[in-house]
Structure 1
């Protein structure tokens, strides 16, 4: 297995692009890692690239996820190609791509694979952080091409483009579609994008499904999504990984009879769309009542002046767990009003015992909220 260290440079991304192309053609498997990640050396050691590789593997996506335990998702060339092909079919045909998210995550890596299968040359957004002027400059060669032009972003990047306006927003508006993944797209963000003329396609998926497998609520062609008895979403189709690196027990527990059991709760709506309700472990048991953190977040997010919110449970001697909320506000917002809105919509048990405000929520990985850091911030307070 070949390890590719990504340092944010175009040279490193181009090297990964070539290595993945060779892996898709049956060559050596690839393990992309972020050179700037303090845990990258631990991930590399856990992936044991010197040991024999599980058959059929083209790419290993290594992650420590929310648990901190290293895990490597095994993806075949067939799986990666199936995801890329289904994505193009849903978006409107093969096209030109801008890579604007880290390529060691599956969402970024799939941008390279989609462009490769489309026979087009991707452009790269390089450098540390996300700057809207740099996005506009990186997008220019893609937007100059004929045919469909695409990119993939996370919600925080889109928010910055909408906030800053100017050349970055103009570039975003010129794409035929922007796949928005890694975190949920709030109704407010969807409305802002539509008002600004930015064509977004919210996507749901994960490394185990070779990137997004549900676009705007509808599974991609060849993908089935069904909730089990516990409302856990289960997924089947050619986009599934075939297991975890050096973890046969975890593989057997997560992949069964052609289905992958996710860590997310959800349901199917009458029109066939998939509604993701939140992670299975985001249920807070407070005073004997089970409260969905995701449901509280949706109510808070719908309140005027609230841009984003994260709800977690904290240990409490009286209630077992106390519901608390960390909120990003766009204007002056009263905590009492937010608590009243939750009480009206979801009841007393779901009402946050504490509401605190912050300029931005802590993130990990490609735009995901770092709930552990949120809990720590309350503990430190």
Structure 2
């Protein structure tokens, strides 16, 4: 991404603390309309990076999580794109309202909660989750929103699962106009349970490069266009697109090409588009080749998400002399089933040739970003535990 004109940038710490949110809220209006400096949002747990020039019009620079590649990109988000996303969200939902902020503001989902607050002219209720997420504290925060305007909340799936285990939190969240859930795969059983309990859950699909969620319950927001090509790759266009990557010109060119005179985002995700509704199938690179068979990790994860006792799950390939890659399910959750039950369940839904041949039980999956499983770390953990014949592992003979 090249530009001859640059804008002053200030570094602002992220996180979920009240001080970080208050400072960012004060700086956001100027960043969005160009009257103040652009904002470089950083993870407060990491060393502060040097400032860098950005093109005029850019309001914020946000790093992607790098949950599948191990390294992220610095994404330049224009003020007009962030505001367009916020306005399209309100048009899809119940109109401008008030939010609970409980996601890290150095990630795009947390940042967008604040942008939507600025656009609506409302003050969010801040839930500090630096020491952990508690459903009871969330319930108290939601009750502070009041009833003058619609109340909103944005969660990742693991947070929604904890809400569903707390009856008081479920009761409090029923009063909201919408609960956006995204950032990672959400098990259909969890969505069904939440909706059956009366929670107004809206699934979202998007990424840092689209200023956050741009497809709600499978339907693109107004102004957003989605296409799926012959390789099942998802392409996105519209006013919500980021300016591009600041740190990698080659990736910028490849990810934001022009087609028919318009800029598009060439995502790394697979999907199906039918009657205007997008179904995301997983990443294009999530296929594990095991014994000559292509195994979609996302399909197996979706199947395991429906199995009782399974909390969070990620399916990875572990190098193996015989299979090439051993399909391995890494699962958390009290009472998670054993390998035989896991294989029978997946076999019944997808066929036995796609069933995991190894199982690793962990307390929590490694994360990189809010709710995003760190697949590289999970694969390394599974490899090490299987090699050590750790009692938390099971392996087919």
Q: Does 1:328 align with 2:332?
A: yes
The separation in 2 between residues aligned to 1:215 and 1:225, in whole angstroms, is 12
Deviation at 1:332?
5.9
Moved over 4 A (4+): none
Q: Aligned match of 1:83 in 82, 85, 88?
A: 85
The separation in 2 between residues aligned to 1:115 and 1:130, in whole angstroms, is 22
* TM-score, structure 2 normalization: 0.89
The residue matched to 2:245 in structure 1 has which SS?
coil
Q: Does 1:32 align with 2:41?
A: yes
Structure having greater relative contact order (Cα 8 Å, sep ≥ 6):
2
C-alpha distance after superposition, 1:322-375 (max 9, x if no partner):
111122345463421221232333334312111233343222211011212221
Q: Does 1:285 align with 2:289?
A: yes
In the alignment, what sits opposite 1:275? 279
Q: Does 1:347 align with 2:351?
A: yes
Q: Aligned match of 2:28 in 20, 23, 32?
A: 20
The separation in 2 between residues aligned to 1:68 and 1:94, in whole angstroms, is 37
Q: Note if contact 1:96-1:145 (Cα within 8 Å) is conserved in structure 2.
A: no
In the alignment, what sits opposite 2:257? 256
In the alignment, what sits opposite 1:3? 11
Q: Note if contact 1:286-1:349 (Cα within 8 Å) is conserved in structure 2.
A: no
The separation in 2 between residues aligned to 1:76 and 1:15, in whole angstroms, is 20
Cα separation, partners in 2 of 1:307 and 1:102, compared to 1, 3 Å: same
C-alpha distance after superposition, 1:120-156 (max 9, x if no partner):
11111124221122212322321x1312111111111
* TM-score, structure 1 normalization: 0.92
The residue matched to 1:184 in structure 2 has which SS?
coil
Q: Note if contact 1:277-1:295 (Cα within 8 Å) is conserved in structure 2.
A: yes
1:96-107 superposed matches below 5 A: 96-107=98-109
The separation in 2 between residues aligned to 1:61 and 1:308, in whole angstroms, is 26
The separation in 2 between residues aligned to 1:173 and 1:363, in whole angstroms, is 28
In the alignment, what sits opposite 1:140? 143
C-alpha distance after superposition, 1:40-92 (max 9, x if no partner):
43xx24xxx2x431232111112351223241111111100110000001112
Cα separation, partners in 2 of 1:5 and 1:306, compared to 1, 3 Å: closer
The separation in 2 between residues aligned to 1:157 and 1:366, in whole angstroms, is 10
Length, aligned pairs only: 370
The separation in 2 between residues aligned to 1:262 and 1:308, in whole angstroms, is 24
The separation in 2 between residues aligned to 1:57 and 1:314, in whole angstroms, is 41
1:39-118 superposed matches below 5 A: 40-41=47-48, 44-45=49-50, 49=51, 51-66=52-67, 67-118=69-120
Q: Note if contact 2:224-2:238 (Cα within 8 Å) is conserved in structure 1.
A: yes
Q: Note if contact 1:54-1:245 (Cα within 8 Å) is conserved in structure 2.
A: no
The CA RMSD measured in Å over matched residues stands at 1.7
Q: Which runs of 5+ in 1 are unaligned?
A: none
User: Which of the pair is proportionally richer in helix?
Assistant: 1
Q: Does 1:265 align with 2:267?
A: no
In the alignment, what sits opposite 2:233? 232
Deviation at 1:28?
0.9
Which sits farther off after the overlay, 191-200 or 1-10? 1-10
Q: Which runs of 5+ in 2 are unaligned?
A: 1-8, 386-397
The separation in 1 between residues aligned to 2:233 and 2:191, in whole angstroms, is 25
